[in-house]
A and B are shown apart, each in its own frame.
Chain A
Amino acid sequence: MKAFAPRSLDEAMVRLTEDPDLRLLAGCTDLMVGEPEDRLGLPGVLDLRGLSELRRIEWHDDALEIGAVTPFSQIRDSPEVQKSFPALAEAASKIGGWQIQNRASLGGNMANASPAGDSLPVLLVLEAQVVLVGPEGTRTVPYREFHLGYRQTALGPGEIIGWVRLPKPPENAMQFFRKVGAREAQAISKVVVALLADVSDGRVSEYRLAAGSVAEVPLRLTEVEKAMVGRAAKAEIANLAGHLAAQAVRPIDDVRSTAEYRRFALEQVVRRMTLQLVRRVPE
Chain B
Amino acid sequence: MKFELVVNGNPVLIEGNPMDRLLDALRDKLDLMGTKEGCGEGECGACTVLMNGEPVLSCLLPLIQCEAAEIETVEGVATGEASAFLERFVSDGGVQCGACTPGIIVTAWALLRDNPHPTRQEVQAALAGNLCRCTGYEGIHRALGRGAADE
Contact = CB atoms under 8 A, between A and B. Distances in A.
B128 A97 contact: yes
Contact of B128 (A1, A32, A49, A98): A98
Contacts of A255: none
Given A32-B42, A103-B56, A98 B129 contact: yes
B124 to A, nearest CB: 9
Give the most central of B17, B59, B65, B107: most A CB within 10 Å: B65
Contacts of A49: 65
Contacts of B59: 32
Given A28-B62, A185-B128, A33 B17 contact: no
A29 B45 CA distance: 13
A1 B130 CA distance: 33
B43 interface: yes
Nearest to B59: A32
B18 A186 contact: no
Given A99-B56, A103-B56, A45 B64 contact: yes
A232 interface: no
B126 interface: yes
Given A25-B64, A32-B59, A185-B128, A99 B45 contact: yes
A183 to B, nearest CB: 9
A255 to B, nearest CB: 13
Given A32-B62, A186-B43, A3 B130 contact: no
Interface string A77-110: 0000000000000000100111110110000000
B71 to A, nearest CB: 13
A186 B43 CA distance: 6
Contacts of A1: 1, 17-19
A45 B55 contact: no
A216 interface: no
Interface of B: 1, 17-21, 41-43, 45, 48, 51, 54-57, 59-62, 64-65, 67, 107, 110, 125-131
